[in-house]
């Protein structure tokens, strides 16, 4: 599908650099960033939660975790929370991110710990309840020029783009 092709093109390092305007010759495409509150609870009833997004959209999604905390009804036991995500080779890895205990560490601030979805939170040990909170950030680059046209255009217009940016071109 075209959306999938756009998503694949967006994820290539070359277009990411271009979109950010790092090359200096291209006028950066308008970028919008939306941020939504995220939360889930892990307990003996719900031991895991998976956060995933639509494959088809051409936006970049980031889950920025802010805090993990024990909530009402938690016992004084070790609650180990594990994150299951993909590494740079797209292999699934499980990493413990917190060990919460009512008497010594009932909460943990994660200071915008950023994860790429899909990501699963698991209560590896303990019975919780542990509340996971954060923000779901969506970065969208609006670009009406299709990828093929853009590549041809880039080859032809590269030398005159800086002039065009200043508005001196007739």
HSE-CB at 101 with a 13 A cutoff on CA atoms is 6
pLDDT at position 15: 41
pLDDT beneath 50, residues of the chain: 6, 12-22, 146, 149, 164-166
Q: Walk across the sheet containing 107-115 and list its strands.
A: 31-42, 130-141, 60-70, 107-115
CATH annotation of 31-141: 2.60.120.340
Q: What is the pTM of this model?
A: 0.64
| Token reading at 157 | 């217009």
* 147 neighbors 9 (Cβ within 8 angstroms): yes
Quote the pLDDT of residue 16.
42
Element (H, E) at 60: strand 60-70
Q: Where are the domains of the chain?
A: 31-141
pLDDT of residue 59: 86
> 64-75: per-residue pLDDT in tens?
999 999 999 999
pLDDT recorded at residue 105: 94
Provide CB contacts within 8 A for 78, sequence distance 6+: 99, 100, 101, 125, 126
How many angstroms from the chain centroid is the CA of residue 48? 19
d(CA 116, CA 119): 7
């Amino acid at each position: 599908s075209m959306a999938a092709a756009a998503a694949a093109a967006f994820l290539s390092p070359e277009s990411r650099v271009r979109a950010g305007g790092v090359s200096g010759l291209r006028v950066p495409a308008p970028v919008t960033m939306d941020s939504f509150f995220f939360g889930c609870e892990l307990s003996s009833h719900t031991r895991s939660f998976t956060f995933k997004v639509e494959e088809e959209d051409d936006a970049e999604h980031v889950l920025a975790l802010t805090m993990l905390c024990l909530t009402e009804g938690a016992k004084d036991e070790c609650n180990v929370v594990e994150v299951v995500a993909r590494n740079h080779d797209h292999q699934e890895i499980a990493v413990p991110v917190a060990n919460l205990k009512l008497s010594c560490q009932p909460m943990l601030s994660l200071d915008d710990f950023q994860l790429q979805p899909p990501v699963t939170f698991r209560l590896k040990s303990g019975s919780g309840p542990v509340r996971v909170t954060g923000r779901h950030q969506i970065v969208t680059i609006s670009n009406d020029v299709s990828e093929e046209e853009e590549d041809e255009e880039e080859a032809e217009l590269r030398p005159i783009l800086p002039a065009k940016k200043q508005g001196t071109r007739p």
